[in-house]
Amino acid sequence: MLEVVGISKSFDGFKAVNNAHLSVEKGEIVAVIGPNGAGKTTLFNLITGIIKPDSGRVLFNNEDITGLPPYKICRKHISRSFQIVNVFQRLTVFENVQISILSREKKTWNLFSPSKSFVVKETETILENVGLINKKERITAFLSHGDRKVLEIAMALGGSPEFLILDEPTAGMAPEETSHCIELIKTLSKTMGLTILFCEHDMEIVFRIANRIMVMVRGSTVIQGSCNEVRCNEAVQNAYLGGSDVCLM
Partner 1 sequence: MRKNTLLFLIAGIILLLLFPVFLPRFYVYLLSIILLYGLLATSLNIVLGYGGIFQFHHAVFYGVGAYGTALMLTKTAMPAILAFIVGPLVASALGFILGIICIRLSKLYFGMLQISLGSLVWAIVYRWYSFTGGDDGIHGIPIPEMLSSYIGAYYYTLIITAVCIFLIFKIINSPFGSALQGIRDNPVRSEMIGINVKRHQILALTIAGFFAGVAGSLFVVVDNTVFPDMLFWTLSLEILIMCLLGGWFSFMGPMLGAGVIVALRTFVSTYTVYWALVLGVLMIFVIFFLPNGILGYFEERFKKVFMGSEIKE
Cβ pair 117, 175 in contact under 8 A = no
Smaller CB distance to partner 1: residue 10 or 103?
103
Query: Pick from 2, 24, 102, 239: which binds partner 1 (CB under 8 A)?
Result: 102
Smaller CB distance to partner 1: residue 79 or 237?
79
Q: Is 91 in the site for partner 1 (CB under 8 A)?
A: yes
By CB under 8 A, which span of 10-18, 95-103, 126-134, 216-224 interacts with partner 1? Answer: 95-103
Beta bridge partners of 71: none
The DSSP 8-state label assigned to residue 140 in this structure reads G
Q: Is 104 in the site for partner 1 (CB under 8 A)?
A: yes
Whole-angstrom distance, CA of residue 111 vs CA of residue 117: 13
Q: Is 40 in the site for partner 1 (CB under 8 A)?
A: no
Q: Which of residues 179-198 bind partner 1 (CB under 8 A)?
A: none
Q: Which of residues 64-83 bind partner 1 (CB under 8 A)?
A: 69-71, 74-75, 79-80, 82
Smaller CB distance to partner 1: residue 95 or 168?
95
* Nearest C-alpha neighbor of 237 from the set 211, 208, 209, 217: 217
Cα torsion 4, 105, 184, 153: sign: positive
* Nearest C-alpha neighbor of 9 from the set 179, 168, 220, 246: 220
Whole-angstrom distance, CA of residue 187 vs CA of residue 51: 30
Smaller CB distance to partner 1: residue 94 or 240?
94
Q: Is 136 in the site for partner 1 (CB under 8 A)?
A: no
Whole-angstrom distance, CA of residue 223 vs CA of residue 220: 9
State the residues that interact with partner 1 by CB under 8 A: 48, 50, 69-71, 74-75, 79-80, 82, 86-91, 95-96, 98-100, 102-104, 107-116, 118, 138-139, 142-144, 155-156, 158-159
